[in-house]
């Protein structure tokens, strides 16, 4: 819901594969702020069956949270406080429901806190100095947003990765990372100069690589383009021992 620029919203809607998808907004990170809910409906009501769930109000918007979320084509998570988002989700079991939705192929997306939440570790600066927070762990890496607009994040992210935080990704405002399960498919942007990055430790130093990214203003349908195989290979989960059935 980038003001005046629908390119990223158009992209995530295209991933549902249906002309009028069901889209549910979770504004939990903002404390279910009314103005944020209004922005969501302005952005999506004309082209989707839009709904929202509030966890800070009595009128939650859906009696059966699990049934409603699992019936969606797309779940869109808003920005705000990552700590508050994770706390209220865990209290209401939303974290468990979202993992089930993810396993069923529901498209999950979000901005700011709504992007940080999917990773194992995230760097949030909502309360001032950037600090790491444990996320949902759907994606087994670290992540930070606002990489260009909040310069202190880059320095702190490098320091944390060097100190042992999982290798990961960073995104400028207007940049997005598209994963299928745990494979990075591509980076896309709503601004020509926005960038996304991968970070890893090489020879005891943090190496930051700019990812190849598609500007959606030039290519509105990059979902049909080849994936970023090199990035996916580089960030593939480390080999695990075979499972043992008992």
Catalytic member of 51, 52, 142, 146: 146
146 is catalytic: yes
- Are residues 69 and 97 in contact, defined by beta-carbon separation less than 8 angstroms? yes
Measuring CA to CA, which residue among 20, 47, 50 is closest to residue 37? 50
DSSP string, the chain: -BTTB-HHHHHHHHTT-SSS-EEEEE-GGGTS-HHHHHHHHHHHTTTSEEEE--SSSS--S-SSHHHHHHT-SEEEE--S-HHHHHHHHHHHTHHHHHHHHHHTT-EEEESTHHHHTTEEEEEE-TTSS-EEEE---SEEEEEES-TTT-THHHHHHHHHHHTTPPPEEEE-TTEEEEEETTEEEEEEESSTT--EEEEEEETTEEEEEEPPEEETTT-S-GGGSPP-HHHHHHTSPPP-PPP---
Handedness of CA 98, 103, 104, 107 (dihedral sign): positive
Catalytic residue of the set 28, 81, 112, 190: 112
Catalytic residues: 112, 146
């Amino acid at each position: 819901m980038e003001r005046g620029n629908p390119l990223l919203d158009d992209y995530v809607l295209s991933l549902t594969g249906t002309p009028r998808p069901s889209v549910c907004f979770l504004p939990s990170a903002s404390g279910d702020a009314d103005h944020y809910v209004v922005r969501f409906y302005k952005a999506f009501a004309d082209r989707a069956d839009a709904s929202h769930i509030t966890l800070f109000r009595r009128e939650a918007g859906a009696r059966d949270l699990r049934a409603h979320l699992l019936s969606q084509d797309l779940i869109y998570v808003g920005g705000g406080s990552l700590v508050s988002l994770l706390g209220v989700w865990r209290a209401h079991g939303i974290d468990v429901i979202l993992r089930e939705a993810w396993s069923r192929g529901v498209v999950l997306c979000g901005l700011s806190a709504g992007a940080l939440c999917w990773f194992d570790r995230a760097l949030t600066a909502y309360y001032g100095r950037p600090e790491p927070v444990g996320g949902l762990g759907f994606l087994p890496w670290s992540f930070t947003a606002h990489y260009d607009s909040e310069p202190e994040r880059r320095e702190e992210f490098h320091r944390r990765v060097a100190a042992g935080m999982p290798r990961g990704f960073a995104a400028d405002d207007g940049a997005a990372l598209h994963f299928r399960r745990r494979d990075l498919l591509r980076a896309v942007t709503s601004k020509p100069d926005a960038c996304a990055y991968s970070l890893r430790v090489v020879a005891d130093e943090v190496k930051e690589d700019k990812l190849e990214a598609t500007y959606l203003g030039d290519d509105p349908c990059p979902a049909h383009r080849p994936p970023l195989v090199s990035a996916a290979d580089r960030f593939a989960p480390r080999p695990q021992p075979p499972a043992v059935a008992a």
